[in-house]
């Protein structure tokens, strides 16, 4: 075990993959010599060579396209999209091409690309360095969508994403790169004292499809992913109500059994995500949960999300779900 | 040098086609560029600067009198040329048969290669068997070169139980891994930049393989075209990037696709050797592609080719070109008919005659008809049977996830 922040844990996962599989190549904007604007690929070019870890021209559409071509010709590309907000020039290549290749070719071709991309708010990034566009990919058959939340699961999930023979969009909550985020912008804790900052140096993986039960309780099920897992944890403590907290980890395919079993126990559910509410992945979960748990529900499912507005710069703390809003929602589920 | 004829309006310029319905099309009879005008640079040493004239000119081998002339005469035997002629004739007859089937509802849609038969066929013949082919929808002819069974091709087009892509794609969107013929996609141009990645993977593995890809003059406006050129220029993988300038993108003439200069010349700014070639001249196309392949083998990376041709047929079975161009425009195209030009060359050089030609035509016609009947035994779009509905749910992922499995059970098939 070693103390690692999320950046070091992701770097460790990439290093193991480069060592274990000579077909793994890593590229993107600034990822080579410099090691990435968030330092996730630091040192890897030096260790494995510029043919395996390299800087690409600044064109997300081109990055995605060459990733698809490399992937269908036997490589296992890991492409970094520097900010999730910048993924949209690559959207056609990801959604129409990479996601559909296996199906449209009758299984003759496939391209096991992993797109790593820092997402979410909390760094004063304004509209174009803060968005969390997971729902724009969960709506695309053929893609797996993963959202890590801490160093331990970041390493294990990224390992599985790269090893998956399906294309994966891997979201990294950039606010949590160096420490968990409990919703108070004035406190900047590190991973140093957090149990999930204890990360094995050796290789391991966490299966895609499995949610993580962060804490167990009796009266409400709180579901979240990414940075909001920690905000939800704070909110549960603030509310004083005994809750299950589920970190979904993989959104497609999501771990419905863990969610349904929890709600059958608690009868109440709050879903928290920082992306806008309308057509967010919380809507999909809420619909699926009521299909399965209608007669177990004691109260309406409540979503606590970012607003249906562009992400703001100076007022981001009023945009992101706060411990206060989440705690109020948890309390509200107890009133019925 | 541009064919541009514009209608200038204020405040900006709107291009227009040279001729519209009701006008008499006239391209001036012959190309002014002649075989022998342009040298063949040493492919193992050539830089982009060595191709400046090739990018604005036109590489030709066949003279207007049907003889071969100049530096670009390829090293290809008469037997291979007859084989190339056979592939082109096969493609034209195949296309005509499929178009007839489309009109009877046995397939939903079709796209012919009429007038552009030489493009994929000459170019694929110039490659090695292990090279990757990343086509657009108008290069199905490459499959004949690689030996694909026509029954299998027709089964795809008519979406029956033997369609290797299980009825998931529109007709002519072929996939054929055995022939290294990569799956065709409808959104135009996406394959161009993907092909750069395919070639990078071949280079990474240290293999002497190239990837060839094509898109149209209209599609060259897409970002994917420019990504491809820039990434190819940056990483220099063994990729052959072809802009098939067939004059027409559905109803949009090439004059509306770009503001000037040839398509080939764009490659020079990316420092990629770039050549403009008569796309109806089988020998020139073969030769230029072979040259590009030699550059790839020499480790010099990409080549950019403008294949100058004419889309003699409609864009697709859903298109009516008489609404936007003179019906007989293709008859006065200076490049003529690629099939007829190769035929005349072979006759003139004493390797072919009308009798053999007619015999071959009849043989192919019979084979296409036999293949068509055999394919129809597995069903067609009009009357089925189709691939089982369960194929909707398979190969979306490597294994079927629970939510897709539940939906399959909901369908109950």
What pLDDT, in 10s, does the model give residues A85-121? 999 999 999 999 999 999 999 999 999 999 999 999 9
pLDDT over 50 at B2, yes or no: no
Average of pLDDT values for B194-218?
98
Average of pLDDT values for A30-38?
97
The 10s digit of each residue's pLDDT in B57-80 is 999 999 999 999 999 999 999 999
- Note the pLDDT of residue B5: 56
B376 domain-assigned: yes
How many angstroms separate the CA atoms of A101 and A140, rounded?
13
CATH number at residue B76: 3.40.50.970
In this structure, the number of other CB atoms found within 10 A of the CB of residue A324 comes to: 13
CB pair distance less than 8 Å for B193 and A108: no
Of B132, B395, B402, the CB nearest to A253: B402
SS3 A334: helix
Domains and CATH numbers, chain A: 2-199 (3.40.50.970), 212-335 (3.40.50.920)
Average of pLDDT values for B121-150?
98
Q: Which of A176, A167, A320, A174 is nearest to A252 (CA)?
A: A167
CB pair distance less than 8 Å for B175 and A103: no
B306 domain-assigned: yes
| DSSP-derived secondary structure for A163-213 | H-SS-EEEEEEGGGSSS---S-TT----GGGSGGGEE-SS-----TT--EE
Cα maximum dimension of chain B: 67
pLDDT over 50 at A196, yes or no: yes
CB pair distance less than 8 Å for A69 and B194: yes
- Note the pLDDT of residue B4: 47
A287 to chain B: which residues are within 8 Å by CB? Answer: none
CB pair distance less than 8 Å for B177 and A108: yes
Edge-to-edge order in the sheet of strand B239-245: B132-134, B211-216, B239-245, B303-308, B274-278
Average of pLDDT values for A129-139?
98
Nearest CA in chain B to A90: B224
B130 domain-assigned: yes
Nearest CA in chain B to A288: B403
In this structure, the number of other CB atoms found within 10 A of the CB of residue A287 comes to: 10
How many angstroms separate the CA atoms of A285 and A223, rounded?
9
B2 domain-assigned: no
- Note the pLDDT of residue B1: 37
B228 to chain A, any CB pair closer than 8 A? The answer is yes
A252 to chain B: which residues are within 8 Å by CB? Answer: 401
Average pLDDT over all residues of chain B: 95
Of B195, B201, B396, the CB nearest to A75: B201
How many angstroms separate the CA atoms of B286 and B62, rounded?
12
Shortest Cα distance, chain B CAs vs residue A255, angstroms: 9
How many angstroms separate the CA atoms of B99 and B112, rounded?
8
> How many residue contacts between A and B have a Cβ separation below 8 Å?
141
* Residue whose tokens read 């993108």: B249
The 10s digit of each residue's pLDDT in A309-324 is 999 999 999 999 999 9
SS3 A156: helix
B11 domain-assigned: no
CB B146 within 8 A of CB B174: no
Least confident of A94-103, A199-208, B99-108, B118-127: B99-108
Nearest CA in chain B to A110: B398
CB pair distance less than 8 Å for A103 and B396: yes
Provide the number of structural domains found in chain B.
1
Number of residues written out for chain B? 413
* Residue whose tokens read 């804790």: A189
B28 domain-assigned: no
Backbone Cα Rg of chain A = 19
Average of pLDDT values for A237-249?
98
DSSP run (H or E) holding B277: strand B274-278
- Note the pLDDT of residue B339: 98
B299 to chain A, any CB pair closer than 8 A? The answer is no
DSSP state for residue B31 in the 8-state scheme? -
Q: Which of A122, A109, A114, A91 is nearest to A227 (CA)?
A: A122
Please, which residues 353-412 of chain B have a Cβ atom closer than 8 Å to chain A?
394-398, 401-404
A62 to chain B: which residues are within 8 Å by CB? Answer: 193, 196, 224, 227-228, 230-231
Shortest Cα distance, chain A CAs vs residue B67, angstroms: 40
Which residues lie across from B158 on neighbouring strands?
none
B225 domain-assigned: yes
Q: Which of A168, A267, A270, A289 is nearest to A228 (CA)?
A: A270
Shortest Cα distance, chain A CAs vs residue B94, angstroms: 22
Q: How confident is the model at residue B8 (pLDDT cuts 50, 70, 90)?
A: low
Average of pLDDT values for B237-265?
94
DSSP state for residue B204 in the 8-state scheme? H
CB pair distance less than 8 Å for B175 and A96: no
pLDDT over 80 at B10, yes or no: no
Angle between helices B282-297 and B78-103 (to 10 degrees): 110
Q: Per the structure block, which two tokens stand in for B360?
A: 């071959």
Q: Which of B117, B72, B75 is nearest to B340 (CA)?
A: B117
In this structure, the number of other CB atoms found within 10 A of the CB of residue B264 comes to: 27
B3 domain-assigned: no
A108 to chain B: which residues are within 8 Å by CB? Answer: 164-165, 175-177, 183
Average of pLDDT values for B120-146?
98
Average of pLDDT values for B268-297?
98
CB pair distance less than 8 Å for B177 and A105: yes
Catalytic (active-site) positions of A: 129
CB pair distance less than 8 Å for B197 and A70: yes
Most B CBs within 10 Å: which of A65, A210, A251, as the mutation test of the B interface?
A65
How many angstroms separate the CA atoms of A212 and A207, rounded?
11
B202 to chain A, any CB pair closer than 8 A? The answer is yes
Q: Which long-range contacts (CB under 8 A, 24 or more apart) does B380-384 make?
A: B380/B101, B380/B106, B380/B107, B380/B158, B380/B159, B380/B160, B381/B105, B381/B106, B381/B107, B381/B108, B381/B158, B381/B159, B381/B160, B382/B104, B382/B105, B382/B106, B384/B160
Percent of chain B with pLDDT over 70: 98
Residue B268, domain extent: 34-324+332-382
pLDDT over 70 at B3, yes or no: no
Instruction: Using CB atoms within 10 Å of the CB of residue B294, give its burial: 0 to 12 exposed, 13 to 18 middle, 19+ buried.
Output: middle
- Note the pLDDT of residue B256: 86
- Note the pLDDT of residue B245: 98
Q: Which of A191, A220, A187 is nearest to A301 (CA)?
A: A220
CB pair distance less than 8 Å for B396 and A141: yes
Q: How confident is the model at residue B12 (pLDDT cuts 50, 70, 90)?
A: confident
CB pair distance less than 8 Å for A97 and B187: yes
Phi, then psi, of A248 in degrees rounded to 5: -65, -35
Q: Cα separations (Å) of B275 from A134, A288, A308, B337, B384?
A: 44, 57, 52, 21, 47
Average of pLDDT values for B173-200?
97
- Note the pLDDT of residue B13: 83
Angle between helices B150-157 and B78-103 (to 10 degrees): 30
The 10s digit of each residue's pLDDT in B401-411 is 999 999 999 99
């Amino acid at each position: 075990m070693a103390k690692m922040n999320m950046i070091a844990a992701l770097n460790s996962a990439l290093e193991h993959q480069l060592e274990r599989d000579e077909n793994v190549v890593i590229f993107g904007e600034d990822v080579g010599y410099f090691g990435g604007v968030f330092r996730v690929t630091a040192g890897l070019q030096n260790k494995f060579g510029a043919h395996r870890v390299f800087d690409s021209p600044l064109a997300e559409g081109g990055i995605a396209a060459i990733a698809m071509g490399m992937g269908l010709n036997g490589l296992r590309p890991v492409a970094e999209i520097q900010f999730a907000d910048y993924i949209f020039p690559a959207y056609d290549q990801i959604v129409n091409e990479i996601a559909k290749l296996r199906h449209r070719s009758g299984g003759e071709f496939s391209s096991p690309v992993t797109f790593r991309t820092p997402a979410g708010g909390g760094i004063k990034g304004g509209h174009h360095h803060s968005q969390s566009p997971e729902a724009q990919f969960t709506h695309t058959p053929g893609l797996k969508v993963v959202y890590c939340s801490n160093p331990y699961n970041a390493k294990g999930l990224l390992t599985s994403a790269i090893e998956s023979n399906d294309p994966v969009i891997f979201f990294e909550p950039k606010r949590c790169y160096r420490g968990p985020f409990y919703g108070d912008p004035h406190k900047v804790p590190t991973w140093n004292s957090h149990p999930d900052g204890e990360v094995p140096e050796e290789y391991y993986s966490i299966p895609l499809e499995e949610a993580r039960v962060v804490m167990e309780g009796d009266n409400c099920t709180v579901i979240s992913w990414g940075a909001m897992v920690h905000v939800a944890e704070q909110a549960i403590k603030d509310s004083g109500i005994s809750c299950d907290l589920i970190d979904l980890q993989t959104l497609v395919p999501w771990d419905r059994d863990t969610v349904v079993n929890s709600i059958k126990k608690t009868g109440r559910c709050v879903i928290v995500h920082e992306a806008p509410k309308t057509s967010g992945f919380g809507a999909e979960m809420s619909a699926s949960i009521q299909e399965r748990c209608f007669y177990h529900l004691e109260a309406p499912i409540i979503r606590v999300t970012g607003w249906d507005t562009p992400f703001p710069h100076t007022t981001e703390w009023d945009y992101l779900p706060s411990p206060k809003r989440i705690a109020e929602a948890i309390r509200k589920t107890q009133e019925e | 040098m541009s064919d541009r004829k514009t209608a200038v309006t204020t405040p900006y310029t709107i291009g227009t086609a040279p001729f519209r319905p009701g006008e008499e099309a006239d391209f001036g009879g012959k190309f002014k560029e002649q075989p022998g005008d342009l040298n063949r640079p040493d492919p193992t040493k050539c830089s982009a600067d060595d191709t400046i004239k090739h990018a604005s000119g036109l590489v030709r081998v066949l003279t207007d009198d049907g003889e071969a002339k100049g530096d670009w005469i390829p090293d290809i035997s008469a037997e291979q040329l007859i084989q190339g002629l056979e592939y082109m004739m096969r493609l034209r007859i195949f296309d005509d048969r499929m178009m007839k089937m489309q009109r009877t509802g046995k397939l939903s849609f079709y796209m012919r290669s009429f007038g552009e038969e030489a493009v994929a066929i000459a170019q694929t013949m110039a490659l090695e068997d292990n090279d990757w082919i990343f086509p657009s929808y108008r290069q199905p002819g490459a499959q004949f070169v690689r030996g694909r069974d026509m029954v299998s091709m027709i089964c795809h087009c008519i979406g029956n139980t033997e369609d290797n892509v299980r009825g998931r794609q529109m007709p002519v969107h072929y996939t054929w891994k055995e022939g290294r013929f990569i799956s065709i996609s409808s959104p135009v141009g996406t394959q161009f930049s993907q092909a750069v990645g395919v070639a990078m993977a071949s280079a990474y593995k240290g293999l002497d393989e190239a990837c060839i890809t094509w898109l149209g003059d209209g599609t060259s406006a897409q970002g994917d075209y420019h990504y491809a050129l820039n990434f190819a220029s940056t990483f220099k993988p063994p990729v052959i990037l072809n802009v098939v300038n067939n004059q027409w993108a559905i109803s949009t003439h090439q004059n509306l696709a770009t503001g000037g200069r040839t398509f080939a010349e764009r490659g020079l700014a990316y420092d990629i050797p770039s050549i403009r070639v008569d796309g109806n001249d089988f020998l020139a196309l073969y030769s230029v592609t072979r040259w590009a392949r030699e550059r790839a083998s020499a480790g010099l990376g990409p080549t950019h080719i403008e294949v100058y041709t004419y889309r003699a047929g409609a864009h697709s079975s859903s298109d009516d070109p008489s609404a936007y161009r003179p019906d007989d425009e293709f008859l006065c195209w200076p490049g003529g008919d690629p099939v007829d030009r190769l035929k005349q060359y072979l006759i003139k050089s004493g390797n072919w005659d009308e009798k053999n030609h007619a015999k071959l035509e009849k043989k192919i016609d019979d084979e296409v008809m036999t293949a068509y009947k055999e394919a129809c035994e597995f069903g067609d779009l009009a009357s089925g049977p189709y691939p089982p509905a369960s194929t909707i749910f398979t190969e979306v992922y490597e294994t079927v996830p629970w939510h897709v499995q539940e939906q399959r059970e909901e369908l109950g098939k």
